[in-house]
Structure 1
Amino acid sequence: MKKLTFTLLSVLLCNMANAQMKFVQGQDKTMQQILAEAKAKKQIIFVDVYATWCGPCKWMDANTFADARVAEKFNKQFINYKVDGDTSEGQLVRNLYKVDSYPTYIFIAPEGKVLHRIEGIMPPQVFMDEADFAAKRAKEN
């Protein structure tokens, strides 16, 4: 019985450790395609505008986005779109949403309206609270 409990606990912990946010990458789909998908699915878009050279962006990837609780919440509630602001698609997104610093996070309603915008680094719980705020704003509209 102890072996079975240990094995089940090990599998559960491994699965939690491997939980990651699932992002659609900017090189795979355009913002316009993501907007169309969100409208069809009636789902909020979460956009991460980052740069490969950005230290705070790397910190968020390694810490907040890697947190199992964040991954579970965002994978369930949002279409997660990650776009490098230095690419041509990223520049279109930056111009469309007036992004001038990295990282910038934008929550967009299925109809295309910006619900909430935040910048910089934040720990997992604060980040999830920001997501809840965006979801609440979507329900109010």
Structure 2
Amino acid sequence: MKKIVLTMSVISLIVFVYACGRGNISQLSFVKNSDKTMEQMIAEAKRQRKVLFVDVYTTWCGPCKWMDEHTFKDSRVTEKFNKTFLNFKVDGESFDGVNVGINYRIDSFPTYLFISPEGKVLHRIEGTMPPEMLIQEADFVIKRNQSEKH
């Protein structure tokens, strides 16, 4: 009996380590609009000198859920976005989310905004995309932000 328990424990550990290495357990670190406002996040982005990545979603949005389950869990995306950007998740139907929608003219979900530390929208994307495509968009924003500083 002890051998079976030990064997099952070792197998579980191997599966867990493998899953972590493949990025299946990683998650993009988002600050949620229930914790901070858009204005607070823009101020934080300015303080940290980072671009603010904003995910405007709704709870009923199928494509939003798809992004959460696929693209935002990809280890390449989580590594790049957690390191490079300040990430903010806004429920488009919340009080702050409605204001964000009005101020940034958001009329479809999901909508993604990349906002410079100075508060300027550098790039805007709508809809779903695989991890590779979101990484390409992020690289575009990084280059654009660097060129606007000079």
TM-score greater than 0.5 by the shorter chain: yes
Matched ranges for 1:2-17 at <5 A: 11=17, 13-15=19-21, 16-17=23-24
Q: 1:8: how far off?
A: 7.8
Q: Distance in 2 between matches of 1:128 and 1:12?
A: 23
Q: 1:14: how far off?
A: 2.3
Question: How many residues end up aligned between the 2 structures?
Answer: 135
TM-score (norm 1): 0.91
Q: Distance in 2 between matches of 1:133 and 1:9?
A: 36
TM-score (norm 2): 0.85
Instruction: Determine helix, strand or coil for the equivalent of 1:18.
Output: coil
The equivalent position to 1:138 in structure 2, one of 121, 134, 145, is 145
Q: 1:110: how far off?
A: 0.3
Match of 1:4?
none
Q: 1:95: how far off?
A: 1.1
Q: Distance in 2 between matches of 1:10 and 1:65?
A: 19
Please identify, of 58-67 and 12-21, the stretch whose mean Cα deviation from structure 2 is larger. Answer: 12-21
The equivalent position to 2:129 in structure 1, one of 107, 122, 125, is 122
Q: Distance in 2 between matches of 1:82 and 1:97?
A: 15
Q: Distance in 1 between matches of 2:14 and 2:61?
A: 39
Aligned-partner residue type, residue 74 of structure 1? F
Match of 1:49?
56
Q: 1:17: how far off?
A: 2.4
RMSD across aligned C-alpha pairs, in angstroms? 1.5
Larger Rg: 2
Q: 1:93: how far off?
A: 0.8
Match of 2:6?
none
Q: Distance in 2 between matches of 1:98 and 1:107?
A: 14
Match of 1:90?
97
What CA deviation, in whole Å up to 9, does each residue of 1:111-137 have, x standing for no partner? 000000000000000011001111111
Mind listing any 5+ residue stretches in structure 2 that lack a counterpart?
A: 1-12
Matched ranges for 1:60-79 at <5 A: 60-79=67-86
Match of 2:8?
none
Mind listing any 5+ residue stretches in structure 1 that lack a counterpart?
A: 1-6
Report runs of 4+ in structure 1 exceeding 3 Å deviation: 7-10
Identity of aligned residues (%): 56
